[in-house]
A and B are shown apart, each in its own frame.
Chain A
Amino acid sequence: MKRLFPVPHVIGFASSLLLSLIALVVIKFDLTFAMGMTILGVTALVQAGLQLFLFMHVSENEDKKTLFTNIGYALFVGLVTIFGTLFAMMWGYNMG
C-alpha cells in the first residue's frame, strides 16, 4: 500500500493547492498593500521550494552542483531584471 500511494506527493499537491488559495486572500479581503505583498511573497517562495525539492527532486540528483548553479544564475537574472527595471524606470528616473 505504501509503495502504491505516494504520501509525500499527495501532501505536496494538497499543500500547493492550499498555498494558491491563501494567495487568493489578497484580492478577496481588504488588506493593506504591504500586508498583501507579504502574503504573496511568502506563499510564492514556499510554493517554489515545494516544486523544486518535492516534485523536481533538485537535491537528490548526482549533478546537484550544476542544478544549484543554474538556480543561482536564474536568481541573478531574475533579481537583476526586477530591481534593475525598478532602478531604471522609477527610482532613478529623471532625478536630475
Chain B
Amino acid sequence: MKWDEFFVTGEPMIYAAMVSIVLVSIAIPAGLTYFKKWGYLWNNWLTTVDHKKIGIMYIIAALLMLFRGGVDALLMRAQTAIPENGLLDGQHYNEIFTTHGIIMILFMAMPFIIGLMNVVVPLQIGARDVAFPRLNAISFWLFFFGAMLLNISFVIGGSPDAGWSAYFPLASLEFSPTVGNNYYSLALQIAGIGTLMTGINFLVTILKMRAPGMKLMKMPMFTWSILITSVIIIFAFPVLTVALALMMLDRQFGTQFFAMQNGGMDMLWANLFWVWGHPEVYIVILPAFGIYSEIIATFARKNLYGYKSMVYSMIAISLLSFLVWVHHFYTMGHGVMVNSVFSITTMAIAIPTGVKIFNWLFTLRRGKISFTTPMLYALAFIPIFTIGGVTGVMLAMASADYQYHNTMFLVAHFHYVLIPGTVFGVIAGFHYWFPKVFGFKLNERLGKWAFWFITISFNVTFFPLFILGLNGMTRRMYTYSASTGYGPLNMLSMVGAVGLTIGFILLVYNIYWSTRYEPREVTGDPWDARSLEWSTPSPLPEYNFAITPAVDELDAFWFAKKTNKSLFEGEYEPIHMPNNSGLPFIMGIAFFFFGFFMVFSWWIPAVVAGLVILGTMAYRTFEQDHGHYISVEEIERTENALRGENS
C-alpha cells in the first residue's frame, strides 16, 4: 500500500464528499458539546438495550443509507440519461453501481426491516423486551459500524467495484487490485454477524416470550413473518459468512478457493453467494408481506382471510427459497438437467406467493376500506409486485433467460420486486407504527402526496428498463452510442428518478412537519387496529406492558374492544428490566478498527484491535449484571401520567 493511494484522488465529486465528511464529523461533536447533549446521547441511545430505541436507531440509519444509495442511483441515471455522457468515468460508475446494490440491500432494506421488527415484535407478543437485550445492542452496533466501514471506502482506498455480487474472477486480487473488495469482504462480514445474531434473538423471543395464551397459530401475521424470516436468516447467513471468509483468504492470504487454477473454482463464489443471496431476497420480502397483512386487515376492518394458508405458504416459501439459487446463473454452462430442475423449483415459488396475493384480495373483498397512507402503499403493492412476479417467472425459464440474462430487463424485474415488495412495505409500516412510537401520526395529506409521487415515478423510472432490456441494453454499461437508440427511454427513466427524489424529500419533510404541527394522539390506538401493540399507551413506557396481557384468540385486542373486556387483569408487580451497557458500542468500534486495519493488511494494528474485541468478550463473561427492578409506585406514576387518571 502506497500512501498516495490511501485517499481517493482526482475526482471533484470525491473531493466534495471528503469535505462534507470532514464537515459533518466536526459539526456533530461541536453541536453535541454546544447543546450539552453528550450525556443524553450516551445514556439514552449509545448504551441502550431497549428494543424500541434500538429499532429507532436502525430506522434512522436505514433512512441515511437510503439517502446515500439514492444519490448513487441518481448519479447512475444521470450518467446514462444521454448517450456518450461524461459525467462519470467507467471506474467511478462501477464503484457506484456496486455500492448502490450493497447499500440498498444490506444497509437500507435490512436495517429498516430489523428496525421495524425490533419496535413491533415484542409489543405484538406482549413481551417487555427481546430475549437477549444486550445481544440486540451488539447486533445493532455491528451492523452500524459495518455500514460505516463500507461507506468510508468511497474516500479512503476506493470502493468495491465488481458489482454487489462481487463475482470471481473479477473480484480476485488479480483483476481487482485495489482494497475495494477487501472492504466488501470485511464490512459485510461484520454487519452479517450482527444480522445472524438478530435472527437468533428474534427466533428465541418469538418462541419463548409470547404472552400467556398466545399459541403459535394465534400470533399476528407480522410476528409470523418475522419468525420465518429469523429462521431463514439463521440458515442462510452462515453461507455468506463462509463465502466472505474464503474471499478474504483468497484476496489477502494467498489461498486459491476461487482461483481459476490450482484446483480452485471461480464459479463456486457465484454458487455460494446465491445460496445465501436468494434466501436473502425472502428475508427482505417476507416481513413486508407481514406488514401488508397487518395493514390490510386493519384498514379493511376485517380479519385476515385465510390465516392458516398464509402461514403455510410462508413456510413453503422459506423452504423453496433454499432450492432455487442456480437461477441466478443459468448461463454459466450447466447441463440441461440442472437448469430444468432449478427452473421448476423457481416457478413453484409463484404458487405460495399467489396464495398470499389472493388472500389479501379476499381480505379486501367487502371490507370497509379506509384509504390511509399505509393502506395506499399496501394497495399499490399488489399490482406492481405482480408485474415483478410475472417477469420473475419469465426469467425463471432457463432457455428464455439466455435472451435477457444480464440485461436491463433483469434490473427492471428485481426493482419491480424489491421496491413494492420491500421499500413500499417498510414505508407503509413506518407510517403505520409511527404514532405508536412517537405519539402522533405522520400527516396524511403530505403522506399521500409523497405516495403518489413515489408510485408514479417508480413506474416511470423502471418500466422503460424492461423495454430497454428486451432491446438489448445490458446492465452495468456506463455509456452507449446514440445509434443504439437507447437514449430516449433512458431519459424518461431519469425523469422518473427525479420524481422519486421529490417523493422521498416529501416523505422526510413530512417527518419534520408532523413533529412540529401534527396533533398529539392520546388513545394509543389511532387506527382502531387489531393486535396487542395498540393496547399500550403511546409513547411507550420503558416496560411496554404494566401487566402482562392474557390472550385467548387471534386479534385479541380487537375483540376486547368489541366486548369491552380488559386484557390486563391483576395487580401491578415490580418489573424486572435489563441494564444499559456501553460494551456493545465499544465492541462495535473495536470491530470497525479491526475491519479497517484488515482491509489495508496492517497486521499488527489488526491484532491489537482483535485483542480488544476478545477483551470485551472476556469482560462480559465475568461481568455480574442482574438488571434492575421498576417499583410498583413508579409503574403507577408512569401509567397514570400516560393513560390519564380515569383508566
A residues near B, CB below 8 A?
Answer: 63, 66, 70, 73-74, 76-77, 80-81, 84-85, 87-89, 92-96
Contacts and interface: CB of A to CB of B under 8 A. Distances in A.
B406 to A, nearest CB: 19
Interface string B335-377: 1111001100000000000000000000000000000000000
Contacts, number: 51
15 contacts: A73-B231, A77-B235, A80-B322, A81-B322, A84-B323, A84-B326, A85-B272, A89-B265, A89-B267, A92-B334, A93-B335, A94-B335, A95-B335, A95-B336, A96-B335
B300 interface: no
B488 to A, nearest CB: 40
Interface in B132-172: none
A95 B322 CA distance: 24
Interface string B241-280: 0000000000000000000000001011001100100000
Interface of B: 207, 231, 235-236, 239, 265, 267-268, 271-272, 275, 319, 322-323, 325-326, 333-338, 341-342
Contacts of A94: 333-335
Contacts of B325: 84
Listed from nearest, the 4 A-B pairs whose CB atoms lie closest are A95-B335, A92-B338, A77-B235, A92-B335
A75 B268 CA distance: 21
Residue of B231, B271, B335, B336 with most partner-chain A CB within 10 A: B335
B336 A85 contact: no
Given A63-B207, A85-B275, A76 B334 contact: no
A88 B271 CA distance: 9
Given A76-B319, A77-B322, A81-B322, A93 B338 contact: yes
A37 to B, nearest CB: 17
A88 B326 contact: yes
A76 to B, nearest CB: 7
A66 B338 CA distance: 34
B239 to A, nearest CB: 7
Contacts of A74: 235
Nearest to A67: B207
Residue of A76, A80, A89, A96 with most partner-chain B CB within 10 A: A89
Contact of A87 (B231, B275, B322, B338): B338
Given A76-B322, A81-B322, A95 B337 contact: yes
Contacts of B322: 76-77, 80-81
B335 A66 contact: no
B326 to A, nearest CB: 5
B275 A96 contact: no
A87 B326 CA distance: 10
Nearest to A63: B207
B271 A89 contact: yes
A85 B271 CA distance: 7
Contacts of A81: 239, 275, 322
B259 to A, nearest CB: 15
Given A89-B271, A94-B335, 20 more contacts: A66-B207, A73-B235, A77-B235, A77-B322, A80-B322, A80-B323, A84-B275, A84-B326, A87-B341, A88-B271, A88-B326, A88-B342, A89-B267, A92-B334, A92-B335, A92-B337, A92-B338, A93-B334, A93-B338, A94-B333
A67 B231 CA distance: 12
Contacts of B231: 70, 73
Contacts of A95: 335-337
Contacts of B265: 89
Nearest to B279: A77
Nearest to A77: B235
Nearest to A81: B275
A92 B333 CA distance: 10
B240 to A, nearest CB: 12
A94 B330 CA distance: 11
Contacts of A80: 322-323
A85 to B, nearest CB: 6
A94 to B, nearest CB: 5
Nearest to A89: B271
Residue of A74, A77, A89 with most partner-chain B CB within 10 A: A77
A53 to B, nearest CB: 20
A94 B339 CA distance: 11
A88 B338 contact: yes
A75 B155 CA distance: 43
Nearest to B329: A88
Nearest to A80: B322
A85 B380 CA distance: 38
Contacts of B342: 88
A88 B270 CA distance: 11
B635 to A, nearest CB: 31
A43 B271 CA distance: 28
Contact of A89 (B236, B268, B341): B268
A96 B207 contact: no
A13 B220 CA distance: 43
